Structure 1
Amino acid sequence: MTDISKPEPDQFDDDRGPASRRRPLHPEIDEAVIESLVRDFYGKIQQDETLSPIFGARIEDWEPHLRTMMDFWSSVTLMTGRYKGQPMQKHRLMTDVEPAHFDRWLALFRESARAVAAPEAAEVFITCAERIAGSFKLGMFGVPGLGPITWGPAAKAP
Structure 2
Amino acid sequence: MLPPPPSALPAPSLALCSEQDVTRLVHDFYARVREEPRLGPVFAARIHDWDAHLAQLVDFWSAMLRGTRRFSGAPMPKHMAMDELDRDLFDRWLGLFRLTTAECGNPAMQRLADDVAERIADTFWRRFQMLRWPPLQVVGAARPD
TM-score by length of 2: 0.81
Runs of 4+ in 1 over 4 A off after TM superposition: none
Residue aligning to 2:79: 91
Post-superposition offset of 1:30: 2.1
Aligned residues: 131
Distance in 2 (alpha carbons) for counterparts of 1:121 and 1:77: 7
Alpha-carbon RMSD: 2.2
Q: Secondary structure at the match of 2:103?
A: helix
Aligned with residue 113 of structure 2, among 115, 125, 128: 125
Q: Show the counterpart of 1:19.
A: none
Shift of 1:25: 4.6
In the superposition, the TM-score normalised over structure 1's length comes to 0.75
The one of the two structures with greater contact order (alpha-carbon pairs below 8 A, sep at least 6) is 2
Match runs of 1:16-31 below 5 Å: 24-25=12-13, 27-31=15-19
1:42-57 equivalent positions in 2, closer than 5 A: 42-57=30-45
**Counterparts of 1:25 and 1:132, CA distance in 2:** 19
Alignment of structure 1 residues 1-158 onto 2, 5 Å: 24-25=12-13, 27-142=15-130, 149-151=133-135, 154-157=137-140
Larger radius of gyration: 1
CA drift at 1:60: 1.7
CA contact (8 A) 1:45 1:51 kept: yes
Instruction: Flag structure 1 segments of 5+ consecutive residues without an equivalent.
Output: 1-22, 143-147
Contact 1:33-1:117 at 8 Å conserved across structures:
no
In the TM superposition, residue 74 of structure 1 has moved relative to its aligned partner by: 1.1
More helix as a share of residues: 2
Contact 1:110 1:126 in 2 (8 A): yes
Q: Give the whole-Å Cα distance in 2 for the aligned partners of 1:155 and 1:129.
A: 31
Ranges in structure 2 where 5+ consecutive residues have no aligned partner: 1-10
